[in-house]
Structure 1
Amino acid sequence: MLAALPLSAAAADGAADTTAQAPTSEVVVVTATRGSKALDKIPGAVSVISRSDIDTQGLVSEDPSALLSLQVPGYAPARQKLTNFGEGLRGRNALLLLDGIPQTNPLRFGGREGYFADPMIVERIEVVSGASAVQGMGATGGIVNTITRRPTEVGTRQTVELKYGTQAHADTQSWKTGYMVEHKSAEADGWDLLAYVGLRSQDVGIDGAGRYLATESLHRAGDAFVKIGRDFGDQRLQLMLNRFDADGFDDWVDVPGDRDAGRPTTSRPGTPAWDAPRNRVRSASLEWSHADLGGGYASAQLFKQDFEARYSGGVISTFQDAAIAPVGTLVDQSEIEADKWGLRTSWVRPDAGIAGLEFTAGVDLLHDTSSQRLTQTGRTWVPPLRYESLAPFTQLEYTRGNLTLRGGLRDERNSLDVADYRTLAFYGNRAVEGGKRDAHELVKSLGGVWRFDASGWSAFASYNEGFGPPDAGLILRAVKTAGQSVDKLVDLQPVVTRNRELGVSWRGATANFSASVYRSRSDLGSQIIVVNGIGSVQRVPIEVKGFEFAGQWRPLPALRLDATYARTRGRTAAAAGEPLDLDLGARSQGPDKLVLGGQWAFAPAWRAQLNVARWFSRDANEGKFSGSTSLEEHFEGYTVADLALRWASPWGELGAGIENLFDRRYITYYSQSHYAGTDDDYYAGRGRTLTMSWRRSF
């Protein structure tokens, strides 16, 4: 874990190799803010998850959401599934990026974007908490930018990784094998290459009571990655390609649980009547940079991303059509497809006419086509949504002594074009006239950081706006009224989120901490209400307030103790014009949490880490209804501990990790508390799991 708020020195220990040594004065530089910036000059809450943090967590679990929930204060609990509904950041959605390439799909948010890269290819993860427009649409809750690795040592280096996991029970084994090769030329104008291929398999597993888990989880995954670059003096050209596939189970079927009796959904061997769920992600980028163009740093990135997510099927009421089969007999399943390409450009000029004044400008272009179809019958559920965005932006930053001030503007101009289409029979086979909706928003940011001389104290204040569309696909697929047209659906107006935040940090010789309070508000938010299993979007105000704390103490040179706490309170309204008297539900907001951790280098080449995460109980919307549907949510809370051990042996790095050390029996947060949950999705958490690993570089 690391101190996750703005003090750069405090985060330096987390961003460097986190062996238990004395603190260093290393300055951590991040790029998620569209420029290389030291953390102590960023007016906001920024976390950096290091390569060492990723490796240590990987000994326990390679679930990317589990890593974020432990390392980022405002991130909700991991669902431990392919689906990541409810895994929000500060009560809102985060924009997920891979080397700056958007991985989320806000036009048709299906909650399946969490898996898009193998942890082995990741150098670090930069998280900007709170609304932000600096990376484009979708960051109403923050930005999670995953940065891939790049060779750092001259010569050729190969790495082999093997992992094996078990719960000491049949059908609970897992394994992984990966191979990576790195090459870096000795010449100044040389080239470099990093390539990786990895395969992973995981059986269904059991919970803490020895019951088989439900099947909506990852079964097999594979990643093929290559990054090749060439330096030309002050210029660099770089190509990155990544293909990630994740598949669910096709040889197990779920057995419904019983919520009233507290019995979770389980599974048994069997063949489902539909195709296995899956994810397919293809990401590519071509980047050019110039370190001294007109006295500044210029960069341009052309990218492409293709995404497919197929969901589990069944006899689902929404998919029934008497013209195809008798109602109650038709088996179908849906698949989301999203294809993006875009261009990101920027130019950063330090000392722009005045010493200490930095000028940044650029233009972003994005084309996104998203749709959703029913795979068994070939029907269209969500028609192709063609989105285009052109966004010039500029930013000024001025540093004088201990003070840094920053302000920026982003001119978001976008359009959404939809052709004529017809809804499913469930919605009345309504003909909807296509059309085009345009939106224009000038989003702003302003903030400052003050560093209190040599006392170790610093403080910041910031105001940031984020911009994103509502879930247009969910709105358009559920049109039930005749005579509707796309250009008349007011529900397609964009979501603008305004985040105000104050923070303070302190760093001493053996300890540091950071804390912030924030308030995030959108006057026209986007809330999904589920009635009889069918979701609809309500455009109502949303306000989230919160407090976050992260601290670190080294009582001994070889021992480091960490603590992170987050408190989140979100409110919304039952309808437009009504007071904000409803709690945000589990689909948006996680519970309060406390994460305690310790790292101990108890012998040369040995290191152990223990994390204990406490998710506090939560009762929301007691006695509140939407029509006849109760909105009550109840979460009992639970505590889970993980242990990891690493040994840098002469034969390579050996590791062992134990997930859920005390074999706790629990129901995961979203499954336990979401008011629309059924006996089919009452999911238990994974029981105690031992994972052993070996990695050798040569």
Structure 2
Amino acid sequence: MRYVLLASSALVSVAVSAQAMAEEARPDETIVVTAARTTLPPSALPLTIDVISKDSLDQQVAISGSVIDAVANLTPSFSPSRQKLSGAGETLRGRSPLYAINGIPQSTPIRDGSRDGYTIDPFFLDRVELIYGSNALQGIGATGGVVNQVVVNAPREEGLSGRVLVQGSTGNFESNSFGGKLGGLLSYRQGAFDVTGGVAYETRGLYYDGAGRRIGIDNTQGDVQDSKSLSFFARLGYDVSSTARLELFATRFNLEGNGDWVQVTGNRATGLPSSSKRGDIQGEAASNRVETVNLTLTDTDLGGGNLIFQAFFNRSRDIFGGDVNATFQDASIAPNGTLFDQSANRSRKLGARVSYERQFFEALNVTLGFDSMWDKTQQDLIATGRYWVPPTTFRTLAPFGQANLKLFDGAVRLAGGGRWENGQLKVDDYVTLASYNSAQVSGGTRAFDDLLINGGVIVEPAQGVRAYASYAEGYSIADVGRILRSVNGATQSNFSIDDVNVTPVISNNREVGIEIKRGPLDASATYFWSTSKDGGLLVMNSAGVYDVQRQRIEIEGFEINLAVELPVDGLKLGTGYAHLSGRTDSNKDDKVDIDLDGANISPDRINVWASYNRGPVSARVQAGLYLDRKFDGAPANTAFSGYTLTDAVLRYDLLRWGGITLAASNLFDVDYVTYNSQTIRSTAAATDNARYFTGRGRTVTLGWDYRF
């Protein structure tokens, strides 16, 4: 089937569309996608863009419980969710996306703890914006695209308003599988002033798979099962004038494991997945705490243009579970094989962003801006007070400009721009761990800069028929922390930071495609290919720890989406397909020779869905078919066997008393091993029995929410 689809994709015109999410209603041209950093509608941009609306987001969160799962369910080219706190290996179009809250980066590229998908409770979100493919619109990190989480809107009406949520969930109705959530949001507006405050608390039980087994808990990397989270949101807003607004908001998200269960190792060779049993963990439970503060000044009519200024602070602390890992051993502290330790990532970001957009001659739209950020990150071993990754500071300064020219009354648009990234990486002198033979590394400062360009053409020969082609470059750091901590004194003596490959990953994205939105039909097709000469590849070592290897990476693929409104009022049907192929250079001869593995690229996938929305009733049934895949150059036991998961959700809005939502994920209780667990490639793959996880079985969620 994939070859038939590939052949049909080849017939697509040289064009790429600002693709609206197939299951969404037909996009309103007044929608402003803030992640694109322009007031132009998506149809005017040579980018593949999706917007998950508030209603769709709430629907998906009721099914799955998180923003990550919502994006994974709706986006064929997003990899299957790991269903863990760690999102390592979760990619968009085969590369890591940048997660942001109102444009504020949540990723920690210097030492990527892969916790950036859990930084705000979805109860406080209005929508999620997705920009596909490598781009530098939001700065560092968007080699796979951007997942921008936009917080709830300020109140428009005078007086008091708010929302309350009460929710419960269970897997196979075992007593220890029950979880619950309480959320409240209160807003008040008086004249030019408004204030909003909210709190959300969630507790999660143990997860069970389709065979009724307790799913193995990941005590080390972190898990969302057997956990609790407490989140706060606050915002103050003031309308300075009829066009200018000053707004300050702050969020705090804290998720931590309860520590009531420990993992039981499985057996990959016999197909026995890991499980869990009652027990007390050693050390602190894995947790994720993120705090974000943002001050924004906007003026929609300053000198005839639109001004946006942001100043932000972001702080995160990711604690990983501890163990007696070979990497942590140091005979000068304790006999080998006895030393317990655990690590914690700590990161602080301080930054400011300003952009000014103005239209000239009713045809030319120009945006100029400047971004700056200081990121200080380190990874500590908190039980013994050692550094695993030394304090490392990254500073970036980036002026940018974008232009969009409308020709022939909008039948043709030309768009393009550039961003000059000036980066500086500073590392103090440090000593690697004893397991890396205590390498003495001389610190220092590394500076680099690059001009990142983008451009595209959009053609709209008839209303509702649109095509485009584009090229864009993205920019990221290849997890410098993993590289720094793995310097080995046995083979690398008199080492300096100048000897470490900490140069950024520059990736590019080329797209062609077409979009048709006429009458009841909503269809699109996109073909893309992306390369990076010195990419960052995750490879697990014999100790079960991921290292980074710098290798050439080439990725290509295509996506097809089709939705149709049926004659039955309120009923829609849709389907989507994504094919990805990724190769890397294993022998460093600048030619790709083996496939990317499951930690770096997602499987081919088909989505099928049906939705109904009329009167007080809304419902959706969706199925994701993950197709089997073999990896050239990988061990046979890393092949993916594929699986199909089906979800359903039903909501009924009461006349005066809110609405009731009933949802079920994995409706048919399929027993399966997760994609990430099936496809691990490492020197320890044959004996990696700890990370052999099954996925969640049928999970039922019942909720009531009330808006006033």
For normalisation by structure 2, the TM-score amounts to 0.93
Q: Residue 547 of structure 1 aligns to a residue in which SS? A: strand
Q: Distance in 1 between matches of 2:436 and 2:545?
A: 11
**Which AA in structure 1 matches 2:608?**
L
The answer to whether the aligner puts 1:158 opposite 2:165 as a matched pair is no
8 Å contact 1:370–1:386 — kept in the other structure?
yes
**Which AA in structure 2 matches 1:344?**
R
Q: Distance in 1 between matches of 2:636 and 2:446?
A: 33
Q: Distance in 2 between matches of 1:288 and 1:600?
A: 40
Shift in Å, 1:310: 0.8
- The 1:568–1:24 alpha-carbon spacing in structure 2 relative to 1, beyond 3 Å, is closer
8 Å contact 1:437–1:486 — kept in the other structure?
no
Counterpart residue number, 2:373: 366
The answer to whether the aligner puts 1:514 opposite 2:514 as a matched pair is no
1:221 corresponds, among 229, 245, 262, to: 229
Counterpart residue number, 1:375: 382
2:631 corresponds, among 611, 616, 620, to: 620
1:168-227 CA-to-partner distances (Å, cap 9, x unmatched) read 113110100011112233x4xx12222210100011121111111122322111110012
Taking the TM superposition and a 5 Å limit, the aligned residue runs for 1:472-491 are 472-481=480-489, 482-491=492-501
The answer to whether the aligner puts 1:392 opposite 2:399 as a matched pair is yes
Counterpart residue number, 2:663: 657
1:474-505 CA-to-partner distances (Å, cap 9, x unmatched) read 11101114444444225111110011110100
**Which AA in structure 1 matches 2:276?**
S
Taking the TM superposition and a 5 Å limit, the aligned residue runs for 1:213-292 are 213-216=215-218, 217-218=223-224, 219-233=227-241, 234-292=243-301
Q: Distance in 2 between matches of 1:525 and 1:148?
A: 33
The answer to whether the aligner puts 1:428 opposite 2:437 as a matched pair is yes
Counterpart residue number, 1:544: 555
Counterpart residue number, 2:127: 124
- The 1:164–1:303 alpha-carbon spacing in structure 2 relative to 1, beyond 3 Å, is same
**Which AA in structure 1 matches 2:245?**
R
**Which AA in structure 2 matches 1:230?**
Y
Deviates more, 1:527-536 or 1:426-435: 527-536
8 Å contact 1:173–1:205 — kept in the other structure?
no
Taking the TM superposition and a 5 Å limit, the aligned residue runs for 1:135-534 are 135-154=138-157, 155-167=159-171, 168-185=173-190, 187=191, 190-216=192-218, 217-218=223-224, 219-233=227-241, 234-351=243-360, 354-400=361-407, 401=409, 402-454=411-463, 456-481=464-489, 482-532=492-542, 533-534=544-545
Q: Distance in 1 between matches of 2:27 and 2:691?
A: 47
Q: Residue 525 of structure 1 aligns to a residue in which SS? A: strand
The answer to whether the aligner puts 1:563 opposite 2:575 as a matched pair is yes
The answer to whether the aligner puts 1:572 opposite 2:584 as a matched pair is yes
**Which AA in structure 1 matches 2:166?**
L
2:600 corresponds, among 580, 588, 592, to: 588
1:675 corresponds, among 661, 667, 681, to: 681
**Which AA in structure 1 matches 2:615?**
P
Shift in Å, 1:120: 1.1
8 Å contact 2:22–2:522 — kept in the other structure?
no
Shift in Å, 1:399: 1.0
Q: Distance in 1 between matches of 2:16 and 2:198?
A: 33
Deviates more, 1:129-138 or 1:675-684: 675-684
8 Å contact 2:418–2:453 — kept in the other structure?
yes
Q: Residue 36 of structure 2 aligns to a residue in which SS? A: coil
Q: Distance in 2 between matches of 1:348 and 1:206?
A: 51
For these two proteins, the number of residue pairs brought into alignment is 674
For normalisation by structure 1, the TM-score amounts to 0.94
**Which AA in structure 1 matches 2:70?**
L
- The 1:92–1:484 alpha-carbon spacing in structure 2 relative to 1, beyond 3 Å, is farther
8 Å contact 2:22–2:574 — kept in the other structure?
no
1:642 corresponds, among 647, 650, 656, to: 647
Q: Distance in 1 between matches of 2:273 and 2:436?
A: 32
Q: Which runs of 5+ in 2 are unaligned?
A: 1-14
8 Å contact 2:170–2:205 — kept in the other structure?
no
Shift in Å, 1:11: 2.8
Shift in Å, 1:512: 1.0
Q: Residue 540 of structure 1 aligns to a residue in which SS? A: strand
Q: Residue 647 of structure 1 aligns to a residue in which SS? A: strand
Deviates more, 1:287-296 or 1:337-346: 287-296
Counterpart residue number, 1:28: 31
Shift in Å, 1:453: 2.2
- The 1:511–1:478 alpha-carbon spacing in structure 2 relative to 1, beyond 3 Å, is same
**Which AA in structure 2 matches 1:666?**
Y
Q: Residue 20 of structure 2 aligns to a residue in which SS? A: helix
8 Å contact 2:364–2:403 — kept in the other structure?
yes
**Which AA in structure 2 matches 1:458?**
R
8 Å contact 1:545–1:568 — kept in the other structure?
yes
Q: Distance in 2 between matches of 1:81 and 1:183?
A: 37
- The 1:695–1:170 alpha-carbon spacing in structure 2 relative to 1, beyond 3 Å, is same
Q: Residue 67 of structure 1 aligns to a residue in which SS? A: helix
8 Å contact 2:17–2:513 — kept in the other structure?
no
8 Å contact 1:14–1:48 — kept in the other structure?
no
Q: Distance in 2 between matches of 1:405 and 1:358?
A: 10
Q: Residue 323 of structure 1 aligns to a residue in which SS? A: coil
1:458-484 CA-to-partner distances (Å, cap 9, x unmatched) read 101000000111111011101114444
The answer to whether the aligner puts 1:50 opposite 2:53 as a matched pair is yes
- The 1:246–1:270 alpha-carbon spacing in structure 2 relative to 1, beyond 3 Å, is same
Q: Residue 620 of structure 1 aligns to a residue in which SS? A: coil
Counterpart residue number, 2:10: none
1:396-442 CA-to-partner distances (Å, cap 9, x unmatched) read 11112211111111010010000100110000111110111001100
Q: Distance in 2 between matches of 1:156 and 1:574?
A: 61
Q: Distance in 1 between matches of 2:592 and 2:154?
A: 51
Shift in Å, 1:631: 8.5
Q: Residue 639 of structure 2 aligns to a residue in which SS? A: strand
8 Å contact 2:662–2:701 — kept in the other structure?
yes
Q: Distance in 1 between matches of 2:644 and 2:23?
A: 24
Q: Distance in 2 between matches of 1:568 and 1:114?
A: 22
- The Cα RMSD (Å) is 1.7
- The 1:12–1:57 alpha-carbon spacing in structure 2 relative to 1, beyond 3 Å, is closer
- The 1:296–1:604 alpha-carbon spacing in structure 2 relative to 1, beyond 3 Å, is closer
8 Å contact 1:435–1:485 — kept in the other structure?
no
Shift in Å, 1:576: 2.0
Q: Residue 55 of structure 2 aligns to a residue in which SS? A: helix
Q: Distance in 2 between matches of 1:225 and 1:389?
A: 28
Counterpart residue number, 1:627: none
Q: Residue 666 of structure 1 aligns to a residue in which SS? A: coil
Q: Distance in 2 between matches of 1:529 and 1:399?
A: 46
- The 1:141–1:25 alpha-carbon spacing in structure 2 relative to 1, beyond 3 Å, is closer
Shift in Å, 1:315: 1.1
Q: Which runs of 5+ in 1 are unaligned?
A: 625-629
2:40 corresponds, among 30, 37, 41, to: 37
Shift in Å, 1:632: 6.2
8 Å contact 1:545–1:570 — kept in the other structure?
yes
Shift in Å, 1:395: 1.1
Shift in Å, 1:291: 1.8
**Which AA in structure 2 matches 1:470?**
A
**Which AA in structure 1 matches 2:337?**
G
8 Å contact 2:552–2:590 — kept in the other structure?
no
Q: Residue 164 of structure 2 aligns to a residue in which SS? A: strand
1:494-523 CA-to-partner distances (Å, cap 9, x unmatched) read 110011110100012111111100110011
8 Å contact 1:619–1:632 — kept in the other structure?
no
